[in-house]
Chains A and B, each alone.
Chain A
Amino acid sequence: QSALTQPASVSGSPGQSITISCTGASSDVADYYYVSWYQRHPGKAPKLIIFDVRNRPSGVSNRFSGSKSGNTASLTISGLQAEDEADYYCSSYTTSSTLVFGGGTRLTVL
């Protein structure tokens, strides 16, 4: 159950777009369209923002989008806003019927 690989940090200016990558293996990201993304502000519970690679839960801004190619999934945030500054985690269902998370990416809005 190795963690998925995410960059430790990314940054962008308000209005710009950023992309966070999430690299897994053949037993998780590559094998399933069950990648999800979570946003976590300090001291708060994680919030689901993308599920099944590219679907947004009701109420989540369409500035958040997801995609996948092979064993790498990506989260793109367009039109960056100050409130987007947070930690972002990817997760994937695995062939062992378990889940694995990425190490997390700290997004800084400059």
Chain B
Amino acid sequence: EVQLVESGGGLVKPGGSLRLSCAASGFTFSSYSMNWVRQAPGQGLEWVSSIGSSSSYIYYADSVKGRFTVSRDDAKNSLFLQMNSLRDEDTAVYYCARGGNPPRHFDYWGRGTLVTVSS
């Protein structure tokens, strides 16, 4: 069974940093792109970042480019999102999701981890 479990969310002040993790199991992690999608309170889904298998490509939404860094550790079946210079508008539930190469859709999602940016 495919499982994706996010962790690392919490309360952080504007300008602060946070590192999210996503632990994957039940599939060959290295063969898939992995992705971050977020949902701010009362808002829709927003794609954040994608990283290809073997980190062959990395893409970011304009809203996070230069502040967020996605990475993966295929040996540990883990995905990460380093978030720096956090802003109020980054407050959201962050989901990790599995995709193909390229990531045209996401077939499995985690339950999400809440990031709150507030002073």
Contacts and interface: CB of A to CB of B under 8 A. Distances in A.
Interface residues of B, number: 26
Interface stretch (B54-62, B68-76, B81-89): B54-62
Contacts, number: 70
A69 interface: no
A98 B47 contact: yes
Interface string A80-99: 00000000010101001111
B103 A99 contact: yes
Contacts of A24: none
Interface in B26-75: 35, 37, 43-47, 50, 57, 59, 61-63
Interface stretch (B8-16, B17-25, B109-117): B109-117
A47 B106 CA distance: 9
B102 A89 contact: no
Interface stretch (A9-17, A70-78, A101-109): A101-109
Given A45-B110, A46-B95, A101 B44 contact: yes
Contacts of B111: 44-45
Given A45-B111, A45-B112, A97-B57, A102 B44 contact: yes
In the complex, which range does the number of interface residues on chain A fall in? 20 to 34
Contacts of B97: 46
A18 interface: no
A1 interface: yes
Interface of A: 1, 3, 32, 34, 36, 38, 40, 44-48, 51-52, 57, 89, 91, 93, 96-104
Given A46-B37, A98-B59, A104-B44, 10 more contacts: A1-B63, A38-B45, A46-B109, A51-B105, A52-B104, A52-B105, A99-B50, A99-B103, A101-B45, A104-B45
18 contacts: A1-B61, A1-B62, A1-B63, A38-B106, A45-B95, A45-B109, A45-B110, A45-B112, A46-B45, A46-B95, A47-B109, A57-B107, A89-B44, A91-B47, A93-B104, A96-B59, A97-B57, A101-B45
Interface of B: 35, 37, 43-47, 50, 57, 59, 61-63, 95, 97, 102-112
